[in-house]
Structure 1
Amino acid sequence: MKSYNQKIVIENPDYSLFIKREDLLHPYISGNKFRKLHFNVQKAKEEKHNTLLTFGGAFSNHILAVASAGYENNMKTIGIIRGEELQQKIAENPTLLKAQEFGMVFEFVSRAVYRNKQDVDFIQTLQKRYGNFYLLPEGGTNNLAVKGCEAILEESDKEFDFICCAVGTGGTISGIVNSSKDGQQVLGFPALKGDFLTEDIRKFVNKSNWQLVTDYHFGGYAKTTEELILFINEFYKKFQVPLDPIYTGKMVFGVLDLIEKKAFPKGSKILIIHSGGLQGVQGMNFLLKQKNQIEIQIYD
Protein backbone atom coordinates (compact mmCIF):
# COMPACT_ATOMS: atom_id res chain seq x y z
CA MET A 1 0.00 0.00 0.00
CA LYS A 2 1.36 3.39 -1.00
CA SER A 3 0.94 6.88 0.40
CA TYR A 4 1.38 10.01 -1.70
CA ASN A 5 3.43 13.17 -1.50
CA GLN A 6 1.61 16.48 -1.26
CA LYS A 7 3.41 19.71 -2.06
CA ILE A 8 3.35 22.40 0.60
CA VAL A 9 3.83 25.90 -0.78
CA ILE A 10 6.07 27.93 1.47
CA GLU A 11 6.92 31.61 1.24
CA ASN A 12 10.65 31.06 0.91
CA PRO A 13 11.34 30.35 -2.79
CA ASP A 14 14.74 28.81 -2.02
CA TYR A 15 13.23 25.52 -0.79
CA SER A 16 10.70 22.95 -1.91
CA LEU A 17 8.71 21.17 0.75
CA PHE A 18 6.53 18.07 0.41
CA ILE A 19 4.63 16.01 2.96
CA LYS A 20 4.15 12.25 2.59
CA ARG A 21 0.59 11.42 3.66
CA GLU A 22 1.14 8.19 5.59
CA ASP A 23 -1.83 9.23 7.73
CA LEU A 24 -4.15 8.23 4.89
CA LEU A 25 -3.07 4.56 4.75
CA HIS A 26 -5.82 3.35 7.08
CA PRO A 27 -8.49 5.05 9.23
CA TYR A 28 -7.43 3.33 12.48
CA ILE A 29 -4.10 1.61 11.81
CA SER A 30 -2.66 4.95 10.87
CA GLY A 31 0.67 5.88 9.34
CA ASN A 32 3.70 4.39 11.05
CA LYS A 33 1.50 1.99 13.06
CA PHE A 34 0.35 0.42 9.80
CA ARG A 35 4.01 -0.07 8.83
CA LYS A 36 5.08 -1.33 12.26
CA LEU A 37 2.33 -3.90 12.55
CA HIS A 38 2.54 -5.33 9.03
CA PHE A 39 5.32 -7.88 9.56
CA ASN A 40 4.50 -8.41 13.23
CA VAL A 41 0.96 -9.55 12.47
CA GLN A 42 2.35 -11.69 9.67
CA LYS A 43 4.77 -13.38 12.07
CA ALA A 44 2.08 -13.84 14.72
CA LYS A 45 -0.01 -15.72 12.17
CA GLU A 46 2.97 -17.82 11.07
CA GLU A 47 3.59 -18.80 14.69
CA LYS A 48 -0.10 -19.75 15.08
CA HIS A 49 -0.84 -17.05 17.66
CA ASN A 50 -4.44 -15.92 17.92
CA THR A 51 -3.84 -13.19 20.53
CA LEU A 52 -1.88 -9.92 20.44
CA LEU A 53 -0.87 -8.32 23.74
CA THR A 54 0.64 -4.86 24.09
CA PHE A 55 0.99 -1.78 26.30
CA GLY A 56 -0.10 1.84 26.11
CA GLY A 57 -1.46 4.96 27.77
CA ALA A 58 -4.78 6.78 27.79
CA PHE A 59 -4.84 8.01 24.19
CA SER A 60 -2.29 5.65 22.64
CA ASN A 61 -2.21 5.45 18.84
CA HIS A 62 -0.57 2.06 19.21
CA ILE A 63 -3.35 0.64 21.40
CA LEU A 64 -6.05 1.55 18.89
CA ALA A 65 -3.97 0.33 15.95
CA VAL A 66 -3.38 -3.06 17.57
CA ALA A 67 -7.07 -3.38 18.43
CA SER A 68 -8.03 -2.60 14.84
CA ALA A 69 -5.39 -4.95 13.40
CA GLY A 70 -6.63 -7.74 15.64
CA TYR A 71 -10.23 -7.12 14.60
CA GLU A 72 -9.32 -7.19 10.90
CA ASN A 73 -7.27 -10.38 11.27
CA ASN A 74 -9.71 -12.22 13.53
CA MET A 75 -7.28 -12.16 16.45
CA LYS A 76 -7.91 -11.41 20.12
CA THR A 77 -6.21 -8.32 21.54
CA ILE A 78 -5.20 -7.42 25.08
CA GLY A 79 -4.11 -3.94 26.16
CA ILE A 80 -2.19 -3.36 29.39
CA ILE A 81 -3.12 0.24 30.11
CA ARG A 82 -1.09 2.67 32.23
CA GLY A 83 -3.29 4.20 34.94
CA GLU A 84 -5.80 2.34 37.10
CA GLU A 85 -8.07 5.39 37.20
CA LEU A 86 -8.80 5.01 33.48
CA GLN A 87 -10.90 1.92 34.13
CA GLN A 88 -13.75 4.16 35.24
CA LYS A 89 -13.31 6.57 32.31
CA ILE A 90 -13.55 4.40 29.21
CA ALA A 91 -16.83 6.00 28.15
CA GLU A 92 -15.20 9.44 27.98
CA ASN A 93 -12.00 8.23 26.32
CA PRO A 94 -12.46 7.99 22.52
CA THR A 95 -9.30 5.91 22.04
CA LEU A 96 -10.10 3.23 24.60
CA LEU A 97 -13.77 3.22 23.68
CA LYS A 98 -13.00 2.51 20.01
CA ALA A 99 -10.39 -0.11 20.92
CA GLN A 100 -13.00 -1.79 23.11
CA GLU A 101 -15.44 -1.76 20.18
CA PHE A 102 -12.80 -3.64 18.19
CA GLY A 103 -12.81 -6.30 20.92
CA MET A 104 -9.71 -5.37 22.91
CA VAL A 105 -9.66 -6.57 26.51
CA PHE A 106 -8.04 -4.12 28.95
CA GLU A 107 -6.04 -4.61 32.11
CA PHE A 108 -5.51 -1.32 33.93
CA VAL A 109 -2.38 -1.18 36.08
CA SER A 110 -0.71 1.42 38.26
CA ARG A 111 2.16 3.45 36.87
CA ALA A 112 4.53 1.60 39.19
CA VAL A 113 3.43 -1.79 37.83
CA TYR A 114 3.48 -0.47 34.27
CA ARG A 115 7.18 0.30 34.54
CA ASN A 116 7.76 -3.47 34.70
CA LYS A 117 6.45 -3.95 31.17
CA GLN A 118 9.79 -5.27 29.91
CA ASP A 119 10.58 -7.50 32.90
CA VAL A 120 10.61 -11.24 32.23
CA ASP A 121 8.76 -12.03 35.47
CA PHE A 122 5.98 -9.60 34.63
CA ILE A 123 5.58 -11.03 31.12
CA GLN A 124 5.43 -14.55 32.58
CA THR A 125 2.70 -13.42 34.97
CA LEU A 126 0.71 -12.13 32.00
CA GLN A 127 1.24 -15.43 30.15
CA LYS A 128 -0.16 -17.36 33.09
CA ARG A 129 -3.18 -15.06 33.12
CA TYR A 130 -3.90 -14.82 29.40
CA GLY A 131 -2.22 -17.88 27.91
CA ASN A 132 -0.01 -17.88 24.84
CA PHE A 133 0.13 -14.51 23.06
CA TYR A 134 2.26 -12.57 20.59
CA LEU A 135 3.92 -9.74 22.48
CA LEU A 136 4.14 -6.27 20.97
CA PRO A 137 6.22 -3.68 22.88
CA GLU A 138 4.87 -0.27 23.86
CA GLY A 139 4.85 1.88 20.74
CA GLY A 140 5.36 -1.22 18.59
CA THR A 141 9.09 -0.82 17.92
CA ASN A 142 11.07 -4.01 17.29
CA ASN A 143 13.09 -5.41 14.39
CA LEU A 144 10.02 -6.32 12.37
CA ALA A 145 8.52 -2.87 12.97
CA VAL A 146 11.69 -1.24 11.67
CA LYS A 147 11.56 -3.52 8.62
CA GLY A 148 8.00 -2.38 8.00
CA CYS A 149 8.97 1.28 8.28
CA GLU A 150 11.64 0.79 5.64
CA ALA A 151 8.77 0.75 3.12
CA ILE A 152 7.83 4.36 3.94
CA LEU A 153 10.39 5.72 1.50
CA GLU A 154 9.78 4.78 -2.11
CA GLU A 155 12.04 4.96 -5.15
CA SER A 156 10.46 8.25 -6.18
CA ASP A 157 11.59 9.81 -2.89
CA LYS A 158 15.26 9.62 -3.85
CA GLU A 159 15.04 13.19 -5.19
CA PHE A 160 14.78 14.67 -1.68
CA ASP A 161 17.81 15.98 0.19
CA PHE A 162 16.24 15.90 3.67
CA ILE A 163 13.72 13.49 5.16
CA CYS A 164 12.04 14.71 8.36
CA CYS A 165 9.92 12.69 10.77
CA ALA A 166 8.59 12.72 14.32
CA VAL A 167 10.24 10.38 16.82
CA GLY A 168 8.54 8.46 19.63
CA THR A 169 10.23 5.13 20.32
CA GLY A 170 12.65 5.34 17.37
CA GLY A 171 11.26 2.62 15.10
CA THR A 172 9.99 4.87 12.33
CA ILE A 173 13.15 6.92 11.93
CA SER A 174 15.22 3.72 12.02
CA GLY A 175 13.33 2.26 9.08
CA ILE A 176 13.58 5.54 7.17
CA VAL A 177 17.33 5.75 7.76
CA ASN A 178 17.85 2.18 6.57
CA SER A 179 16.00 2.81 3.30
CA SER A 180 17.38 6.29 2.67
CA LYS A 181 19.63 6.89 -0.33
CA ASP A 182 23.22 8.09 -0.46
CA GLY A 183 23.35 11.83 0.02
CA GLN A 184 20.08 12.06 1.91
CA GLN A 185 19.95 13.35 5.48
CA VAL A 186 17.29 12.16 7.93
CA LEU A 187 16.17 14.52 10.71
CA GLY A 188 14.16 13.17 13.64
CA PHE A 189 12.11 15.43 15.91
CA PRO A 190 11.56 13.69 19.28
CA ALA A 191 8.26 14.22 21.07
CA LEU A 192 10.03 13.63 24.37
CA LYS A 193 12.65 15.67 26.20
CA GLY A 194 16.29 14.66 25.99
CA ASP A 195 18.59 12.80 23.61
CA PHE A 196 18.27 9.36 25.24
CA LEU A 197 16.75 7.79 22.11
CA THR A 198 20.02 8.00 20.21
CA GLU A 199 21.35 4.71 21.55
CA ASP A 200 18.02 2.95 20.95
CA ILE A 201 18.03 4.04 17.31
CA ARG A 202 21.64 2.96 16.80
CA LYS A 203 20.57 -0.62 17.59
CA PHE A 204 18.42 -0.67 14.45
CA VAL A 205 20.17 1.50 11.85
CA ASN A 206 22.99 0.70 9.48
CA LYS A 207 23.88 4.26 8.45
CA SER A 208 25.04 7.48 10.10
CA ASN A 209 23.20 10.03 7.93
CA TRP A 210 20.76 11.03 10.66
CA GLN A 211 20.40 13.24 13.70
CA LEU A 212 17.83 14.15 16.31
CA VAL A 213 16.60 17.74 16.58
CA THR A 214 15.63 18.06 20.23
CA ASP A 215 14.45 21.68 20.39
CA TYR A 216 10.78 21.21 19.50
CA HIS A 217 9.25 18.95 22.16
CA PHE A 218 7.14 21.82 23.61
CA GLY A 219 7.69 20.69 27.17
CA GLY A 220 7.83 16.93 26.64
CA TYR A 221 5.63 14.01 25.66
CA ALA A 222 1.93 14.90 25.39
CA LYS A 223 2.72 18.50 26.42
CA THR A 224 1.34 21.33 24.33
CA THR A 225 1.29 25.11 24.28
CA GLU A 226 -1.13 27.64 22.83
CA GLU A 227 1.52 28.48 20.23
CA LEU A 228 1.56 24.88 19.02
CA ILE A 229 -2.23 24.57 18.88
CA LEU A 230 -2.56 27.83 16.96
CA PHE A 231 0.11 26.61 14.53
CA ILE A 232 -1.71 23.31 13.92
CA ASN A 233 -4.99 25.14 13.31
CA GLU A 234 -3.41 27.66 10.94
CA PHE A 235 -1.54 24.93 9.05
CA TYR A 236 -4.80 23.09 8.45
CA LYS A 237 -6.54 26.24 7.23
CA LYS A 238 -3.72 26.96 4.82
CA PHE A 239 -2.93 23.49 3.44
CA GLN A 240 -5.88 21.27 4.45
CA VAL A 241 -3.43 18.91 6.13
CA PRO A 242 -4.38 17.90 9.70
CA LEU A 243 -1.59 17.49 12.25
CA ASP A 244 -1.62 16.02 15.74
CA PRO A 245 -0.21 17.81 18.81
CA ILE A 246 1.91 14.91 20.12
CA TYR A 247 4.09 14.09 17.11
CA THR A 248 3.51 15.59 13.67
CA GLY A 249 2.50 19.07 14.83
CA LYS A 250 5.75 19.51 16.74
CA MET A 251 7.82 18.10 13.89
CA VAL A 252 6.27 20.29 11.18
CA PHE A 253 6.58 23.35 13.43
CA GLY A 254 10.26 22.51 13.82
CA VAL A 255 10.88 22.04 10.11
CA LEU A 256 9.24 25.34 9.18
CA ASP A 257 11.12 27.12 11.96
CA LEU A 258 14.41 25.73 10.66
CA ILE A 259 13.49 26.87 7.16
CA GLU A 260 12.76 30.34 8.51
CA LYS A 261 16.17 30.31 10.22
CA LYS A 262 17.80 29.23 6.93
CA ALA A 263 19.16 26.07 8.54
CA PHE A 264 18.79 24.14 5.27
CA PRO A 265 21.13 24.76 2.33
CA LYS A 266 19.65 26.90 -0.43
CA GLY A 267 17.84 24.79 -2.99
CA SER A 268 17.10 21.93 -0.59
CA LYS A 269 14.26 19.54 -1.37
CA ILE A 270 12.63 18.52 1.91
CA LEU A 271 10.20 15.67 2.56
CA ILE A 272 8.13 15.57 5.75
CA ILE A 273 6.70 12.19 6.83
CA HIS A 274 3.17 12.46 8.22
CA SER A 275 3.14 9.45 10.54
CA GLY A 276 -0.55 9.68 11.50
CA GLY A 277 -1.71 9.89 15.10
CA LEU A 278 -4.76 12.00 14.35
CA GLN A 279 -7.06 9.81 16.45
CA GLY A 280 -5.42 11.36 19.53
CA VAL A 281 -6.72 14.83 18.68
CA GLN A 282 -10.16 14.04 20.07
CA GLY A 283 -8.67 13.02 23.42
CA MET A 284 -6.38 16.05 23.53
CA ASN A 285 -9.31 18.36 22.82
CA PHE A 286 -11.18 16.77 25.72
CA LEU A 287 -8.28 17.69 28.02
CA LEU A 288 -7.91 21.18 26.55
CA LYS A 289 -11.62 21.85 26.99
CA GLN A 290 -11.42 20.88 30.65
CA LYS A 291 -8.70 23.50 31.08
CA ASN A 292 -10.64 26.14 29.10
CA GLN A 293 -7.82 26.29 26.56
CA ILE A 294 -7.95 26.74 22.80
CA GLU A 295 -8.83 23.48 21.01
CA ILE A 296 -7.42 21.86 17.87
CA GLN A 297 -9.55 22.56 14.80
CA ILE A 298 -8.54 20.25 11.97
CA TYR A 299 -11.94 19.09 10.75
CA ASP A 300 -14.36 21.01 8.56
Structure 2
Amino acid sequence: MEELLDPALGSVRVFLMHDDNKARKLRHNLGHPRVLTFGGAYSNHIRAVAAAGRRHGFETVGVIRGEERLPLNPSLAYAVACGMRLDYLDRDSYRRKDTPEVVARLRERWGDVAILPEGGSNAAAVRGCAELPADIPVPYDVVCCPVGTGGTLAGIAAGLPEGKRALGFAVLKGAAFLAGEVARLQREAYGRVWDNWAIDLGHHFGGYARTTPELTAFAAEHRVERVYVAKMLLGIVGLARRGVFPAGARVVAVVTGQPSTPVAAWGAPTGFDSGEPR
Protein backbone atom coordinates (compact mmCIF):
# COMPACT_ATOMS: atom_id res chain seq x y z
CA MET A 1 0.00 0.00 0.00
CA GLU A 2 1.08 3.56 -0.62
CA GLU A 3 1.89 5.68 2.40
CA LEU A 4 1.07 9.36 2.80
CA LEU A 5 4.24 11.27 3.60
CA ASP A 6 3.92 14.62 5.35
CA PRO A 7 6.17 16.06 8.08
CA ALA A 8 3.10 17.13 10.07
CA LEU A 9 2.15 13.49 10.62
CA GLY A 10 5.04 12.96 13.03
CA SER A 11 5.04 9.32 14.14
CA VAL A 12 1.53 8.69 12.77
CA ARG A 13 1.59 6.45 9.69
CA VAL A 14 -1.12 6.83 7.05
CA PHE A 15 -1.64 4.05 4.51
CA LEU A 16 -3.71 4.71 1.36
CA MET A 17 -6.17 2.00 0.40
CA HIS A 18 -7.63 2.57 -3.06
CA ASP A 19 -11.12 1.10 -3.01
CA ASP A 20 -14.24 1.77 -5.07
CA ASN A 21 -17.07 2.28 -2.60
CA LYS A 22 -19.55 2.51 -5.50
CA ALA A 23 -18.88 -1.11 -6.42
CA ARG A 24 -19.20 -2.23 -2.80
CA LYS A 25 -22.50 -0.36 -2.43
CA LEU A 26 -23.92 -2.05 -5.51
CA ARG A 27 -22.76 -5.58 -4.74
CA HIS A 28 -25.80 -6.54 -2.65
CA ASN A 29 -28.23 -4.29 -4.52
CA LEU A 30 -28.26 -6.31 -7.74
CA GLY A 31 -30.91 -8.81 -8.75
CA HIS A 32 -33.90 -6.80 -10.02
CA PRO A 33 -34.46 -6.72 -13.80
CA ARG A 34 -34.77 -2.90 -13.82
CA VAL A 35 -32.96 -0.48 -11.51
CA LEU A 36 -33.66 3.25 -11.23
CA THR A 37 -31.36 5.61 -9.40
CA PHE A 38 -30.51 9.29 -9.03
CA GLY A 39 -27.50 11.53 -9.52
CA GLY A 40 -26.00 14.72 -10.86
CA ALA A 41 -24.74 15.18 -14.38
CA TYR A 42 -21.24 13.95 -13.47
CA SER A 43 -22.32 11.28 -11.01
CA ASN A 44 -19.93 8.35 -10.55
CA HIS A 45 -22.85 6.44 -9.02
CA ILE A 46 -24.87 6.82 -12.23
CA ARG A 47 -21.91 5.55 -14.23
CA ALA A 48 -21.35 2.59 -11.91
CA VAL A 49 -25.00 1.52 -12.04
CA ALA A 50 -25.04 1.83 -15.84
CA ALA A 51 -21.88 -0.27 -16.12
CA ALA A 52 -23.26 -2.90 -13.75
CA GLY A 53 -26.44 -3.12 -15.82
CA ARG A 54 -24.47 -3.69 -19.00
CA ARG A 55 -22.29 -6.35 -17.40
CA HIS A 56 -25.03 -8.22 -15.55
CA GLY A 57 -27.86 -7.81 -18.05
CA PHE A 58 -30.44 -5.69 -16.23
CA GLU A 59 -32.11 -2.47 -17.36
CA THR A 60 -31.03 0.82 -15.82
CA VAL A 61 -32.67 4.22 -15.54
CA GLY A 62 -30.77 7.30 -14.41
CA VAL A 63 -32.80 10.22 -13.05
CA ILE A 64 -30.58 13.27 -13.46
CA ARG A 65 -30.77 16.50 -11.47
CA GLY A 66 -31.57 19.50 -13.67
CA GLU A 67 -32.51 20.00 -17.30
CA GLU A 68 -31.26 17.93 -20.21
CA ARG A 69 -28.21 19.44 -21.89
CA LEU A 70 -27.08 18.29 -25.32
CA PRO A 71 -24.64 17.08 -26.35
CA LEU A 72 -24.31 14.82 -23.30
CA ASN A 73 -21.21 15.26 -21.21
CA PRO A 74 -18.75 12.32 -21.21
CA SER A 75 -20.14 10.90 -17.96
CA LEU A 76 -23.75 10.70 -19.18
CA ALA A 77 -22.65 9.66 -22.66
CA TYR A 78 -20.85 6.72 -21.08
CA ALA A 79 -24.00 5.79 -19.12
CA VAL A 80 -26.10 5.87 -22.30
CA ALA A 81 -23.49 3.79 -24.12
CA CYS A 82 -23.95 1.18 -21.39
CA GLY A 83 -27.67 1.09 -22.17
CA MET A 84 -28.96 3.36 -19.42
CA ARG A 85 -32.06 5.41 -20.19
CA LEU A 86 -32.01 8.93 -18.82
CA ASP A 87 -34.78 10.92 -17.19
CA TYR A 88 -34.55 14.44 -15.78
CA LEU A 89 -36.04 16.25 -12.80
CA ASP A 90 -35.94 20.00 -12.36
CA ARG A 91 -34.06 21.01 -9.23
CA ASP A 92 -37.20 21.61 -7.16
CA SER A 93 -38.62 18.19 -8.03
CA TYR A 94 -35.22 16.62 -7.47
CA ARG A 95 -35.13 17.96 -3.92
CA ARG A 96 -38.44 16.14 -3.41
CA LYS A 97 -37.35 12.95 -5.17
CA ASP A 98 -37.99 10.78 -2.10
CA THR A 99 -41.55 11.99 -1.56
CA PRO A 100 -44.45 9.64 -2.38
CA GLU A 101 -45.67 11.98 -5.12
CA VAL A 102 -42.41 12.03 -7.06
CA VAL A 103 -41.78 8.32 -6.52
CA ALA A 104 -45.29 7.48 -7.77
CA ARG A 105 -44.73 9.59 -10.87
CA LEU A 106 -41.45 7.81 -11.60
CA ARG A 107 -43.01 4.38 -11.12
CA GLU A 108 -45.87 5.35 -13.43
CA ARG A 109 -43.37 6.36 -16.07
CA TRP A 110 -40.89 3.49 -15.68
CA GLY A 111 -43.02 0.63 -14.37
CA ASP A 112 -41.69 -2.03 -12.03
CA VAL A 113 -38.30 -0.75 -10.85
CA ALA A 114 -36.02 -1.19 -7.89
CA ILE A 115 -35.18 2.33 -6.71
CA LEU A 116 -31.70 3.02 -5.34
CA PRO A 117 -31.10 6.28 -3.46
CA GLU A 118 -28.73 8.98 -4.64
CA GLY A 119 -25.20 7.87 -3.89
CA GLY A 120 -26.40 4.30 -3.43
CA SER A 121 -26.52 4.36 0.39
CA ASN A 122 -29.07 1.91 1.75
CA ALA A 123 -29.01 -1.16 3.99
CA ALA A 124 -27.67 -3.42 1.24
CA ALA A 125 -24.93 -0.88 0.47
CA VAL A 126 -23.91 -0.82 4.12
CA ARG A 127 -23.50 -4.60 4.09
CA GLY A 128 -21.27 -4.29 1.03
CA CYS A 129 -19.07 -1.65 2.65
CA ALA A 130 -18.84 -3.75 5.82
CA GLU A 131 -16.73 -6.19 3.82
CA LEU A 132 -13.97 -3.59 3.35
CA PRO A 133 -12.08 -4.02 6.67
CA ALA A 134 -11.42 -7.68 5.92
CA ASP A 135 -9.56 -6.60 2.77
CA ILE A 136 -7.13 -4.26 4.55
CA PRO A 137 -3.67 -5.84 4.13
CA VAL A 138 -1.78 -3.97 6.88
CA PRO A 139 -2.10 -3.73 10.68
CA TYR A 140 -4.07 -0.62 11.65
CA ASP A 141 -5.77 1.25 14.48
CA VAL A 142 -8.14 3.58 12.66
CA VAL A 143 -9.87 3.50 9.27
CA CYS A 144 -10.76 6.88 7.73
CA CYS A 145 -13.06 7.66 4.80
CA PRO A 146 -14.79 10.69 3.24
CA VAL A 147 -18.47 11.06 4.15
CA GLY A 148 -21.21 12.42 1.90
CA THR A 149 -24.27 10.27 2.61
CA GLY A 150 -22.90 8.09 5.39
CA GLY A 151 -23.22 4.66 3.78
CA THR A 152 -19.51 3.92 3.45
CA LEU A 153 -18.74 4.94 7.03
CA ALA A 154 -21.73 3.00 8.37
CA GLY A 155 -20.52 -0.16 6.67
CA ILE A 156 -16.84 0.18 7.53
CA ALA A 157 -17.65 0.70 11.21
CA ALA A 158 -19.95 -2.32 11.23
CA GLY A 159 -17.23 -4.51 9.74
CA LEU A 160 -14.35 -3.49 12.00
CA PRO A 161 -12.70 -5.98 14.35
CA GLU A 162 -13.01 -5.36 18.08
CA GLY A 163 -10.83 -2.49 19.28
CA LYS A 164 -10.55 -0.70 15.91
CA ARG A 165 -12.24 2.60 15.12
CA ALA A 166 -13.61 4.40 12.07
CA LEU A 167 -13.40 8.14 11.44
CA GLY A 168 -15.30 9.84 8.65
CA PHE A 169 -14.58 13.29 7.24
CA ALA A 170 -17.70 15.19 6.19
CA VAL A 171 -17.32 16.90 2.80
CA LEU A 172 -20.49 18.94 3.36
CA LYS A 173 -20.86 22.14 5.36
CA GLY A 174 -23.35 21.93 8.21
CA ALA A 175 -23.23 18.14 8.18
CA ALA A 176 -24.05 17.37 11.82
CA PHE A 177 -27.11 15.49 10.54
CA LEU A 178 -24.83 12.80 9.10
CA ALA A 179 -24.38 11.16 12.50
CA GLY A 180 -28.09 10.40 12.49
CA GLU A 181 -27.85 9.07 8.94
CA VAL A 182 -25.01 6.69 9.78
CA ALA A 183 -26.93 5.40 12.80
CA ARG A 184 -30.10 4.99 10.74
CA LEU A 185 -28.28 3.04 8.03
CA GLN A 186 -26.66 0.72 10.57
CA ARG A 187 -30.03 0.05 12.21
CA GLU A 188 -31.63 -0.68 8.84
CA ALA A 189 -28.83 -3.05 7.87
CA TYR A 190 -28.18 -4.81 11.18
CA GLY A 191 -30.77 -3.73 13.74
CA ARG A 192 -28.15 -2.05 15.93
CA VAL A 193 -25.75 0.91 16.04
CA TRP A 194 -22.01 0.59 16.71
CA ASP A 195 -20.14 3.02 18.98
CA ASN A 196 -16.77 2.68 17.23
CA TRP A 197 -17.09 5.59 14.80
CA ALA A 198 -17.12 9.39 14.69
CA ILE A 199 -17.48 12.11 12.04
CA ASP A 200 -15.10 15.06 11.74
CA LEU A 201 -17.05 18.17 10.70
CA GLY A 202 -14.18 20.62 10.55
CA HIS A 203 -12.52 19.86 7.23
CA HIS A 204 -15.18 20.58 4.59
CA PHE A 205 -13.16 23.56 3.26
CA GLY A 206 -16.23 25.65 2.54
CA GLY A 207 -18.73 22.94 1.61
CA TYR A 208 -19.42 20.35 -1.05
CA ALA A 209 -17.25 20.83 -4.16
CA ARG A 210 -15.77 24.00 -2.62
CA THR A 211 -12.05 24.47 -2.24
CA THR A 212 -9.36 26.70 -0.77
CA PRO A 213 -5.83 27.43 -2.00
CA GLU A 214 -4.50 25.05 0.66
CA LEU A 215 -6.79 22.22 -0.43
CA THR A 216 -6.11 22.79 -4.13
CA ALA A 217 -2.35 22.77 -3.57
CA PHE A 218 -2.54 19.64 -1.41
CA ALA A 219 -4.63 17.78 -3.99
CA ALA A 220 -2.21 18.74 -6.76
CA GLU A 221 0.86 17.78 -4.73
CA HIS A 222 -0.49 14.36 -3.80
CA ARG A 223 -2.41 13.81 -7.07
CA VAL A 224 -5.71 13.00 -5.40
CA GLU A 225 -9.32 13.93 -6.13
CA ARG A 226 -10.18 17.07 -4.16
CA VAL A 227 -13.97 16.94 -3.60
CA TYR A 228 -13.66 13.98 -1.24
CA VAL A 229 -10.22 12.45 -0.90
CA ALA A 230 -8.05 15.54 -0.45
CA LYS A 231 -10.38 16.81 2.29
CA MET A 232 -10.02 13.55 4.19
CA LEU A 233 -6.24 13.39 3.82
CA LEU A 234 -5.68 17.02 4.74
CA GLY A 235 -8.04 16.47 7.67
CA ILE A 236 -5.94 13.53 8.85
CA VAL A 237 -2.79 15.66 8.61
CA GLY A 238 -4.47 18.43 10.60
CA LEU A 239 -5.61 16.08 13.35
CA ALA A 240 -2.15 14.51 13.55
CA ARG A 241 -0.60 17.95 13.86
CA ARG A 242 -2.90 18.64 16.83
CA GLY A 243 -2.01 15.35 18.50
CA VAL A 244 -5.48 13.83 18.13
CA PHE A 245 -4.03 10.47 17.03
CA PRO A 246 -1.85 8.65 19.57
CA ALA A 247 1.89 8.53 18.87
CA GLY A 248 2.67 5.71 16.47
CA ALA A 249 -0.96 5.26 15.39
CA ARG A 250 -1.50 3.42 12.13
CA VAL A 251 -4.25 4.94 10.01
CA VAL A 252 -5.76 3.48 6.86
CA ALA A 253 -7.25 6.18 4.62
CA VAL A 254 -9.79 4.77 2.15
CA VAL A 255 -9.30 6.53 -1.19
CA THR A 256 -12.80 6.19 -2.61
CA GLY A 257 -13.86 6.39 -6.22
CA GLN A 258 -10.83 4.65 -7.69
CA PRO A 259 -11.20 1.53 -9.84
CA SER A 260 -11.04 -1.65 -7.80
CA THR A 261 -11.44 -5.00 -9.55
CA PRO A 262 -15.28 -4.98 -9.74
CA VAL A 263 -15.57 -1.60 -11.47
CA ALA A 264 -12.53 -2.25 -13.66
CA ALA A 265 -14.33 -5.39 -14.78
CA TRP A 266 -17.43 -3.35 -15.57
CA GLY A 267 -15.27 -1.08 -17.70
CA ALA A 268 -16.24 2.15 -15.97
CA PRO A 269 -13.78 4.98 -16.55
CA THR A 270 -12.84 7.27 -13.68
CA GLY A 271 -11.64 10.83 -13.27
CA PHE A 272 -14.84 12.85 -12.89
CA ASP A 273 -15.90 14.56 -9.72
CA SER A 274 -19.00 12.78 -8.52
CA GLY A 275 -22.30 14.57 -8.95
CA GLU A 276 -23.62 13.42 -5.58
CA PRO A 277 -22.30 12.81 -2.09
CA ARG A 278 -20.79 9.40 -1.44
TM-score (norm 2): 0.86
Structure 2: where are the runs of 5+ without partners? 187-192, 260-268
- In structure 1, what is the Cα distance between the partners aligned to 2:157 and 2:273? 31
Same amino acid, percent of matched pairs: 37
C-alpha spacing 1:282/1:204, structure 2 compared with 1 (3 Å): closer
Does the 8 Å CA contact 1:94/1:282 hold for their aligned counterparts? no
The answer for the alignment partner of 1:8 in structure 2 is: 4
Where do 1:169-208 residues align within 5 Å? 169-194=149-174, 195-205=176-186, 206-208=193-195
Deviations 1:144-186 (CA, angstroms, capped at 9, x unpaired): 0000000111165683111110001100000000011222221
Find out whether 1:263 has 2:240 as its counterpart: no
Amino acid at match of 1:121: E
CA contact (8 A) 1:67 1:77 kept: yes
Q: CA deviation at 1:228?
A: 1.6
Q: Deviations over 1:14-54 (max 9, x none)?
A: 122111111xxxxxxxx00000000101xxx2xxx321100
Q: CA deviation at 1:204?
A: 2.9
Q: Does residue 257 of structure 2 align to residue 276 of structure 1? A: yes
CA separation of 1:90/1:116 partners in 2, compared to 1, >3 Å: closer, same or farther?
A: farther
Aligned-partner residue type, residue 257 of structure 1: G
Aligned ranges 1:96-245 → 2 under 5 Å: 96-154=76-134, 159-194=139-174, 195-205=176-186, 206-236=193-223, 243-245=224-226
Q: 1:177 to 1:21 in 2, by over 3 A?
A: same
Task: Give how far 1:13 is off.
Answer: 4.8
Q: What displacement does 1:9 show? A: 3.6
Matched residue type, 2:22: K
Secondary structure, in 3 states, of the residue corresponding to 1:117? coil
1:289 matched to which residue of 2? none
Cα separation, partners in 2 of 1:231 and 1:158, compared to 1, 3 Å: closer
2:42–2:272 Cα contact (<8 Å) kept: no
Residue 35 of structure 1 corresponds to 24
User: Residues 213-264 of structure 1: CA distance to partner in whole angstroms, max 9, x if unpaired?
Assistant: 111111111222332222111013xxxxxx2122111111111222223221
Residue by residue, what CA displacement relative to the aligned partner does 1:182-214 show, whole Å, maximum 9, x if unpaired? Answer: 222211001111211111111233311111111
| 1:67 aligns with one of 50, 70, 83 | 50
Structure 1 gaps of 5+ residues are 23-30, 237-242, 285-300
Instruction: Pick the aligned partner of 1:249 from 230, 245, 248.
Output: 230
Query: Helix, strand or coil for the counterpart of 2:185?
Result: coil
- Aligned mates of 1:200, 1:172 — CA distance in 2: 11
Contact 1:245-1:281 at 8 Å conserved across structures: no
CA distance in 2 between partners of 1:249 and 1:15 (Å): 18
Specify the alignment match of 1:295 in structure 2. Answer: none
CA contact (8 A) 2:43 2:273 kept: no
Contact 1:55 1:138 in 2 (8 A): yes
* SS state at 2:153 partner: helix
Q: Distance in 2 between matches of 1:150 and 1:58?
A: 28
